[in-house]
Amino acid sequence: MHRFVEGAFAQKFLTGNTYASHDARVGLFTRLFPSISFYSRLFGGPLRWLCSKAAKGQCDDAAWVHASVWVSELMERIGCPIEVQGMDAINEVDGPCLFVANHMSTLETFMLPGMIRPRRPVTFVVKKSLTTMPLFGPVMCSRDPIVVGRTNPREDLTAVLEGGLERLKKGISIIVFPQSTRSLVFDQSHFNSIGVKLARKAGVPVVPIALKTDAWGQGRKIKELGPVKPGMPVRYSFAKPMYIQGQGKEEHAAICQHIACYLEGWQQHDGINATVPS
């Protein structure tokens, strides 16, 4: 067992196949000013702590998981319940795998490491701008991500295939968001098959993830700093691992179906946080 798994904080999502938040007491200030409350705690807490670790060269896996779970706790403290299902899928593969998910907000980038890394090594495919951002850039670089420019699809495919094979051979799983940008709706035509192509080339399985994280909305000027909506559930669903057969068209369709089905049900039940600050 990895040393950081032994800490109580890192065990938050080590709850078996599912996780569900307990009811949280939300203070008056947070009810009145949820976004101010959340961002003040975010920047004064996990981001400040993790950036300090990165500046000292101490942003290791333990720190990454700790900060990830810390952000999850902040979401719960402002009244956004978290529900996760299907986490047994993370353990059902013997070696590394591809986690392929839709991309809705900044939140999944923070939260997924807290669910996956205590169970297996993992990194991201990220756009280059995330590695050059003030404060957070050094944190992301410390995770040895696969970096893509999002301007030349051919170059991005080469970067993902070459960088992905290198990391998978080291036993490191990869989280990839095949959508070109964050979106509240799932459009299969904008969901490319880059994850399936890498899994096929490497001979590793894919674990699809459907997620709904619009409780942390998108901002008008700065996408990462959108409105936070208390009461809006945060939801994740991991599907069973699948190996790629042939060209992977059936598996790609199955991934899309998993995401579309869950997202449709969640949005009908929860609504959509489409509010954008003026």
Break the chain into its structural domains and give their ranges.
3-270
Count CA atoms closer than 13 A to 217's CA, side-chain side: 18
Query: Which pLDDT score, from 0 to 100, does residue 53 have?
Result: 87
Higher-confidence position of 186 and 75: 75
Architecture of domain 3-270: 3-Layer(aba) Sandwich (3.40)
Mind listing the pLDDT tens digit for each residue in 226-267?
Answer: 899 999 999 999 999 999 998 889 999 999 999 999 999 998
Q: What is the average pLDDT score of the chain?
A: 87
Exposed e or buried b per residue across 211-250, where buried means at least 16 C-beta atoms within 10 angstroms of its C-beta: bbbbbbbbeeeeeebbbbbbebbbbbbbbebbebeeebee
> What pTM did the predictor assign?
0.89
pLDDT tens-place string over residues 202-229? 999 999 999 999 999 888 878 778 899 9
What DSSP character marks residue 126?
E
Better-predicted residue by pLDDT, 195 or 55:
195
> Is the distance from CB of 234 to CB of 81 less than 8 angstroms?
yes
